[in-house]
Structure formats: C-alpha cells, structure tokens
Amino acid sequence: GNQATLKAEGKTVGECLQDLGRRYPELKKIMLDQDGNLFQSFDVFVNGESAYPGPMARPVKDGDRLHLVMLIQGG
C-alpha cells in the first residue's frame, strides 16, 4: 500500500498530528476536523498498540513510532 514516513514533534499524539498539519496543510484537511480532532475514519497506533480511547491525549516520547491508518468502509 501507500506509505510515507514523516517526523513529528510533540508530547502527545494530538501535538504530533497538529505539527504534521502545520507542515502539510493538505494532510491536515483529510485527518483533522476544524476543531483539531482526528476524523473517525482514522485509527492511530503508538509503537504497534492502538491509541484508543482518547488517541489525541495519548503521551508519546522521542523515538516512538506513530502509525496513522485510514479505515475504509464499504457496503
């Protein structure tokens, strides 16, 4: 599949995603709503473990790996 590796700074998942959103405005449009919340069509993993519930508040430290996965629905 399509993958990209990006570096982000922050002490929480939310801060990291906001950092990416500032540097990549097009990415921000598809992953964060106007209030800065992650769209429900995404799942977040920190070092391979789901960040839910409350992914935006999940603490992260230097060297942690975040995976942002877009969920696809069909019918």
Q: What is the signed CA dihedral for 37, 33, 52, 66, rounded to 10 degrees? A: -90
Rounded CA separation 2/9 (Å): 23
Domain membership of residue 51 (yes or no) is: yes
Structural domain harbouring 64: 13-70
Tokens 């449009």, residue located = 29
Domain membership of residue 4 (yes or no) is: no
Residue 15 CA: distances (Å) to CA of 10, 53, 57, 69: 5, 16, 9, 17
Look up the pTM and report it: 0.88
Domain membership of residue 35 (yes or no) is: yes
Domain membership of residue 56 (yes or no) is: yes
What would the two tokens of residue 10 be? 């922050």
Domain membership of residue 18 (yes or no) is: yes
Domain membership of residue 21 (yes or no) is: yes
pLDDT, position 45: 97
Number of domains in the chain: 1
Domain membership of residue 1 (yes or no) is: no
Q: How confident is the chain (75 residues) per 10-residue block, as mean pLDDT?
A: 89 97 95 93 96 95 95 80
CATH number of the domain where residue 55 is located: 3.10.20.30
